[in-house]
Chain A
């Protein structure tokens, strides 16, 4: 994509992240998703006459923590402004947002596509209130309905610089942004429910040209897959237009996932004059030194910290690192399991990214809700390392734990009968019997066909019902046969 028929693409992203506060940004109504329409409303978030906003400081803390995490300058004095426009889902006829004095500015995020780390500028992060939702199905099909439960839910709007050069970079940027928000416990990152939403500004220009081309804005892209597809289609479309000698029109386009293409938004509504001005109902937001210092001190673990640990300190393979970093719950699970079995991070990672991940892939709550406790997995891996169970037996134990039929792996291994025999006499006897009864194979081995050892190991294992470590059998056989 970086060089496409002599063009390069330039992408900037605007992300709206719902912040995980218990109450709305300017009133005490709950923010929970999925409630009965218009059950989480009050005079303030319905824009009743005389109602006034009062800022929820928890929303400010989320935004400041995020700003600090991406290296923003925190403006210790920022201003709420009114963005004026009419729409039924907007109760007051204006949205309380921030305009020329946002809370955070000048941050940066490093994205890594194909091992090439690239810094992406973040112009600003500001606080605003979400709007309600128009519902077009209700008891009367000729009417529209509005649900104001979402009106007033706090949002952080995160605006990137036009630094992204390909759909892959855009997706990598979004993944990292989302991971940071989830690590901070500031946003649940759920794109389907709309708690993490993305609009994209995209333009193309001939490679080597420094001036930006005319951009279009893409809306309604609610999954990483659609972000990539929508950008790819839009870039192709713009290049087609330019290659045909045409001009790209500045407009807002929607991603139509059915038709698999972008199309212009109906009605040219983008010539809005929002008539921003400072909201006289709210004082300037002041984040004093003490407050800022406390938030700085409370800096929680971030994806970059975990990446550094898993990659640098533990030396895990890159695909495992990527998965354990992006999925915070899975990474947390890994760390918890590892603390029980600190000697073998690779084995723990292997179990977590394969078996645990497969188990929780579609579960609500992800790895945090895994039926196999991380502690139990750690203990199980410990049993393998100590030679108590073989890996095939360990897998059986894992499924036993997953099915809820057991909670202690050692107990489960015994119950399943997959504990390895720790009886050298029985092993020696079995080896002797197999050597005695497999004259032809023994001859072949001694004649130099060493690979026949596999057959002999198998015979020994069968006699002992698989409850021995194959490595140990192999070793003992060789000692006898080579003597």
Chain B
């Protein structure tokens, strides 16, 4: 038997089911692991006591023959912009550092109903704004493969925690790549579902029309099991889709025979991928082809406008979404005692970090009278064109395969001086959010060199066709073992 730290969710579920393992043992192992890997700074709040109680509850249920399914007793983590009643939800921000959530997010409530043990609130870029987890008021999270490098962002803590075995799966959020890019950088699997597939209720909003909750796990199968629990219509989120929810786990073994896989010309031309990344992605596509997929080239001609379009829409929505953090009703208030305007300025001035302020300013400008048409409205038009690109592409193929990021995990501090360079690293992931499709990251290789770093393959599917994406991911994991690779012990790499 592999060590507890190396188990996948699917494997752990089987052991629990066979009563070869208890949730208590598993949870205790994860908590010990969290202590052992504190240097990662992936955890904002470890919920040790609560988690042990939940684990014991789960063991009792199982002993009584009343287990609630494969997630019962499984220790999971939640990105700290998702609400868990009675526990602070900081969104990685000083302004919410002491804000205790009043209610459970719908996705959390559904995990609870499935019997999961919720063990940690995980580090992130403040309000989800960043690609390296360096914009966190709680300090950067580190990549378990090389602690001098970023785990990616904004769900950096979630990806690092899964990779390092602190928990068997996580909920993240993805507004422009925030699940997929850290999953790729940390060598785990992460799915950004179609907008509307998972409720946003109880998820601290960054950009409401782009935000989506999704799972990270150690395999495509783990991700599918988590999806089975969290997906589905929620009357409390008007934008959640009233559509039937398939059995995502059933898609994993479906295979790719006859599946049409498209390679977007622009992604391979524009991106400036490193040789390692290009080779790993090419190899993964060859694996799918060998398994029966039919591969062809496609065009997504408006890709070049995606980043500009994204930074207009996302910042506009963020500027409005973050207006509620004013120190009046909750959160930290800074009151210099010189009236209302000063209270607002001091609270927000001290509560928000630099990147959040930059985006609020950008978004405020974008929506201002006289600029709305030139920026916001134009960006919405471009967004429509990007959606249409996908529609046309999906007339000819079932799944699109592409890189997740041009490079493996970059060094902490490497891009912080130049926000624009940081923004450009999201070129491959952002279109998925704008186009209303779904996308996944699966490990497909390691970079060369003394300290190898994970590389991710992106699989993009039609709206609400997460199943085809999971089928392709499953086929790749059937034929390769990249998803079983674990980071070297002890993290290493620190200069």
Give residues in A with beta carbon < 8 Å to B: 43, 46-55, 82, 84, 86, 88, 91-94, 146, 148, 273, 275-277, 280-283
Measured between beta carbons, the chain A residues less than 8 angstroms from B209 are: 280
Distance of B140 from chain A, by nearest CB (Å): 23
Q: A49, A53, A273, A282: which contacts B96 (Cβ < 8 A)?
A: A49
B324 adjacent to chain A (CB < 8 Å)? yes
Q: A86-B344, A281-B208 are in contact. Are A49 and B324 (CB under 8 A)?
A: yes
A52 to B20, CA, bound (A): 42
The reply to whether B205 and A93 contact each other, CB–CB distance below 8 Å, is no
Measured between beta carbons, the chain B residues less than 8 angstroms from A94 are: 320, 323
Measured between beta carbons, the chain B residues less than 8 angstroms from A51 are: 201-202
Measured between beta carbons, the chain B residues less than 8 angstroms from A54 are: 235-238
Q: List the 6 closest pairs (A to B, CB-CB), nearest first.
A: A93-B323, A275-B367, A280-B209, A280-B208, A50-B202, A47-B324
The reply to whether A43 and B102 contact each other, CB–CB distance below 8 Å, is yes
A72 to B222, CA, bound (A): 55
24 interchain pairs, CB-CB under 8 A? A43-B102, A43-B103, A47-B329, A48-B330, A49-B205, A49-B324, A50-B101, A50-B201, A50-B204, A51-B201, A52-B237, A52-B238, A52-B239, A92-B324, A93-B320, A93-B322, A94-B323, A275-B319, A275-B364, A275-B368, A275-B372, A276-B367, A277-B367, A280-B208
Instruction: Mark out the residues of chain B between 182 and 215 whose CB falls within 8 Å of any chain A CB in the assembled complex.
Output: 200-205, 207-209
Measured between beta carbons, the chain A residues less than 8 angstroms from B203 are: 50
Q: A92-B324, A281-B238 are in contact. Are A46 and B369 (CB under 8 A)?
A: no
Give residues in B with beta carbon < 8 Å to A: 82-83, 89, 91, 96, 99, 101-103, 105, 200-205, 207-209, 235-239, 316-317, 319-320, 322-324, 326, 328-330, 340, 344, 364, 367-369, 372, 376
Measured between beta carbons, the chain B residues less than 8 angstroms from A281 are: 205, 208, 238-239
Distance of A447 from chain B, by nearest CB (Å): 92
The reply to whether B326 and A93 contact each other, CB–CB distance below 8 Å, is yes
Measured between beta carbons, the chain A residues less than 8 angstroms from B235 are: 54
A281 (CB) vs chain B CBs: closest residue: B208
Measured between beta carbons, the chain A residues less than 8 angstroms from B326 are: 86, 88, 93
A94 to B316, CA, bound (A): 13
- Across chains A and B, the number of contacting residue pairs, with CB separation under 8 Å, is 97
Q: A55, A84, A91, A282: which contacts B367 (Cβ < 8 A)?
A: A84
A46 to B323, CA, bound (A): 13
The reply to whether A88 and B324 contact each other, CB–CB distance below 8 Å, is no
Measured between beta carbons, the chain B residues less than 8 angstroms from A92 are: 323-324
A337 to B293, CA, bound (A): 83
Q: Which of B99, B203, B324 has the most chain A CB atoms inside 10 A of its CB?
A: B324
The reply to whether A91 and B324 contact each other, CB–CB distance below 8 Å, is yes
The reply to whether A88 and B201 contact each other, CB–CB distance below 8 Å, is no
Q: B202, B320, B369: which contacts A273 (Cβ < 8 A)?
A: B369
The reply to whether B320 and A91 contact each other, CB–CB distance below 8 Å, is no
Q: A93-B320, A280-B209, A280-B317 are in contact. Are A52 and B83 (CB under 8 A)?
A: no
Q: A53, A84, A146, A282: which contacts B323 (Cβ < 8 A)?
A: A84
A128 to B236, CA, bound (A): 19
B316 (CB) vs chain A CBs: closest residue: A277
The reply to whether B83 and A49 contact each other, CB–CB distance below 8 Å, is yes
A89 (CB) vs chain B CBs: closest residue: B328
A275 (CB) vs chain B CBs: closest residue: B367
Q: Which of B239, B329, B330, B340 has the most chain A CB atoms inside 10 A of its CB?
A: B329
The reply to whether B200 and A52 contact each other, CB–CB distance below 8 Å, is yes
A52 to B91, CA, bound (A): 17
Measured between beta carbons, the chain A residues less than 8 angstroms from B204 are: 49-50
Measured between beta carbons, the chain A residues less than 8 angstroms from B96 are: 49
Q: B83, B99, B101, B324: which contacts A93 (Cβ < 8 A)?
A: B324
A141 to B102, CA, bound (A): 30
The reply to whether B105 and A53 contact each other, CB–CB distance below 8 Å, is no
A48 (CB) vs chain B CBs: closest residue: B102
Distance of B253 from chain A, by nearest CB (Å): 36
A306 to B434, CA, bound (A): 55
Q: A52, A93, A146: which contacts B236 (Cβ < 8 A)?
A: A52
Distance of B236 from chain A, by nearest CB (Å): 6
Measured between beta carbons, the chain B residues less than 8 angstroms from A91 are: 324, 329
The reply to whether B238 and A283 contact each other, CB–CB distance below 8 Å, is yes
Q: A50-B203, A50-B204, A280-B239 are in contact. Are A84 and B328 (CB under 8 A)?
A: no
Distance of B50 from chain A, by nearest CB (Å): 20
Q: A50-B203, A275-B364 are in contact. List 11 more A-B contacts (CB 8 A).
A: A43-B103, A49-B91, A49-B99, A54-B238, A91-B329, A92-B324, A93-B322, A148-B329, A275-B320, A281-B238, A282-B238
Distance of A160 from chain B, by nearest CB (Å): 24
The reply to whether B316 and A50 contact each other, CB–CB distance below 8 Å, is no
A279 (CB) vs chain B CBs: closest residue: B208
A53 to B201, CA, bound (A): 9
A277 to B207, CA, bound (A): 13
A84 to B236, CA, bound (A): 23
Distance of B95 from chain A, by nearest CB (Å): 10
Distance of A330 from chain B, by nearest CB (Å): 42
A121 to B355, CA, bound (A): 49
Q: A273-B368, A275-B367, A277-B316 are in contact. Are A146 and B328 (CB under 8 A)?
A: yes
Distance of B35 from chain A, by nearest CB (Å): 29
Distance of B242 from chain A, by nearest CB (Å): 11
A91 to B204, CA, bound (A): 15
The reply to whether A49 and B236 contact each other, CB–CB distance below 8 Å, is no
A272 (CB) vs chain B CBs: closest residue: B369
A54 to B233, CA, bound (A): 13
Measured between beta carbons, the chain B residues less than 8 angstroms from A43 are: 102-103
B348 (CB) vs chain A CBs: closest residue: A86
Distance of B90 from chain A, by nearest CB (Å): 10
The reply to whether A49 and B89 contact each other, CB–CB distance below 8 Å, is yes
